[in-house]
Amino acid sequence: MPTHAQTQWFLEQVRLEQSRLRAFVRSLGVRPETVDDFAQDALIVAYEKIDAFDRSSSFGPWVCGIARRLVSNALRKEQRHQRIISDHLTEFLVETPLETWHPLFRTDEQDRMAALTACMEELPSYSRGLLNMKYFENLSAGVIGSRMERSANDVRQMLLRIRRVLMTCMEGRLTSNAG
Task: Of 27, 4, 10, give the one whose Cα is nearest residue 63.
Answer: 10
Model pTM greater than 0.75? Answer: no
Confidence at 83, pLDDT banded by 50, 70, 90: very low
Q: Where are the alpha helices (DSSP H) in 28-151?
A: 35-48, 59-84, 89-95, 109-122, 125-131, 141-148
Q: What is the mean pLDDT of residues 14-31?
A: 90
Residue 160 host element (H or E): helix 152-178
Domain 4-84 fold = Rna Polymerase Sigma Factor; Chain: A (1.10.1740)
* CA dist., res. 139 & res. 83, Å (int): 16
Task: Of 16, 14, 15, give the one whose Cα is nearest residue 42.
Answer: 14
